[in-house]
Amino acid sequence: MSSRQHKIKSIDLFAGCGGLMDGFEQSGKYKTLAAVEWEKGPCRNLRIRLKDKWKYKNSDKMVLQFDIQRTDELFEGWKDDEIYGESAGLDKLVNKSGGLDIIIGGPPCQAYSIAGRVRDENGMKDDYRNYLFESYLKVVDHYKPKLFIFENVPGILSARPGDRPIIEIIQESFNKAGYYVLPNLRNAIIDFTEYGVPQNRKRVIIIGFSKSYFGEAVCVEMAKKFYSEYLPRYKSEKKMTVAEAIGDLPKLFPLGRDEKIGGKRISHSLPSPYIANHIARWQNERDIRIFKLLTEDIESGRDEYTSIKALKTLYTERTGKTSNVHKYHVIRWDEPSNLIPAHLYKDGLRHIHPDSEQCRTLTVREAARLQTFDDDYIFDGSNVETYKMIGNAVPPKFAKKIAYAVADLLKDYGR
């Protein structure tokens, strides 16, 4: 492995638990200088991961738990803050390493997601997260890296919190800051299943190149080639299935009674052999019966409950409630899973395990596998924290492929 001195230097903004960063580290071509994240749980996991897996001795200082909107303090440092404690700031970490090559990350996507806009009575127009890209932009403008990677949901291309589409404002802002971004970002929508991620997940990957560093004509060429040549080189030969991703994990069976382990209620057996984070969340008897009905229906080939109408009717019959969306979904062994979202922490009913003997929703480890986190990433925290941070992450397997594509591009253009 080459010395860190000769690696591409990066920082990760809105880092979460570090899916994007983990893929860049796995490539062996990057040195992480810092990661910025405001939530406590993801920061704790990031520090552990940087120290234990990636052997950074100063991981406590590298992970900055702070509100990125307070940009000046983020750069210069803050002291004795009630929520965020104190830090010498981002400038110290970047300058100590002699500058920065790339910024990676993506603001929270909830304000741009179509699902979020449907759920919110004002279509997310008043959500402050619409403008978190401005903080990302300030960091880019401050350090002027050679390039940046900005990841978000496809809904960002249609979001319109004000008088204009937000994507137009983002493109204009990056252009004014001196970065070339592909004009038609429909070409930047990437289907992660094509890159070996066993989950139906599409994201917009915006790459911006410094016009002052490369020259505008070269930026245009690099941006075009990134999407048409460099990234597609790393496509997988075939789509990965749920069975390939989680089929080898120990089975967790319903106990037929409630038990307590370490003060926590459980309804299913524990994994044997033990696998970290592979504990079934507690399920009530009613849901266990519903899961058995739905999984046996698919296994038998009867398919009585595969239509949206049938699933909605079943939900009403069994719970006495009505819902505009169908609440139940059994993932299928022989294809990629449906999207692993942050709100998986709520109940998991749209991520029912396909084995009729297990009658449960996905474990944290299974969600992590479908997001392509390695088993040596041990998630620390409550179910609420861990499901949420996994659902919010960029799959490391895909991140590793972007990392390779960017490194290839920089090498070929002599930078």
3-state secondary structure of 13: strand
**Is 124's pLDDT higher than 50?**
no
Annotation marks residue 219 as catalytic: no
**Mean pLDDT computed over every residue of the chain:** 92
Cis peptide leading into residue 273 (ω within 30°): yes
Measured in Å, how far apart are the chain's first and last C-alpha atoms? Answer: 20
CA distance 213 to 144: 9
Neighbours of 43 (CB within 10 A): 23
Given a contact cutoff of 8 angstroms between Cβ atoms, the answer to whether 28 and 14 are in contact is no
Round to whole Å and give the CA distance between 375 and 229.
31
- Structural domains in the chain, sorted by start: 4-238+394-412 (3.40.50.150), 250-362 (no CATH)
CB 178 within 8 A of CB 135: no
DSSP states of 33-74:
EEEEE--HHHHHHHHHHHHHTT--TTHHHHEEES-TTSHHHH
* pLDDT higher than 60, residue 113: no
Please list the alpha-helical segments (H only) found in 132-283: 133-143, 166-176, 211-214, 216-225, 242-246
Cα 299 off chain centre by: 31
The answer to whether residues 9 and 101 touch, using CB atoms and an 8 Å cutoff, is: yes
What is the pLDDT confidence band of residue 352, given thresholds at 50, 70 and 90? very high
CB 39 within 8 A of CB 63: no
The pLDDT score that the predictor gives to residue 128 is 42
Average pLDDT of the residues in 55-82: 95
pLDDT exceeds cutoff 50 at 119: no
Predicted confidence (pLDDT) at residue 158 exceeds the cutoff of 90: no
Q: Between vectors from CA 264 to CA 262 and to CA 269, what angle results, nearest 5°?
A: 90
Cβ contact 356:297 at 8 Å: no
At 254, list the tokens.
Answer: 């319903």
The pLDDT of 84-113, averaged and rounded, is: 86
pLDDT in tens, 376-415: 999 999 999 999 999 999 999 999 999 999 999 999 997 7
- Examine the pLDDT at 317 and tell me if it is beyond 60: yes
Q: What is the pLDDT of residues 242-299, one digit of tens each?
A: 999 999 999 999 999 889 988 889 999 999 999 999 999 999 999 999 999 999 999 9
Q: How far is CA 339 from the centre of its chain?
A: 11
Residues 359, 330 contacting (CB under 8 angstroms): no
Q: What is the CA radius of gyration of the chain?
A: 22
Of 17, 43, 109, 219, the catalytic one is 109
Predicted confidence at residue 148, as pLDDT, reads 97
- The full length of the chain comes to 415
Q: Given pLDDT bands bounded at 50, 70 and 90, which one contains residue 327?
A: confident
* CA separation for the pair 408, 404 (Å, rounded): 6
**Highest-scoring range by mean pLDDT, 16-20, 113-117, 152-156:** 16-20
Question: How many Cβ atoms are within 10 Å of 273's Cβ, its own excluded?
Answer: 6
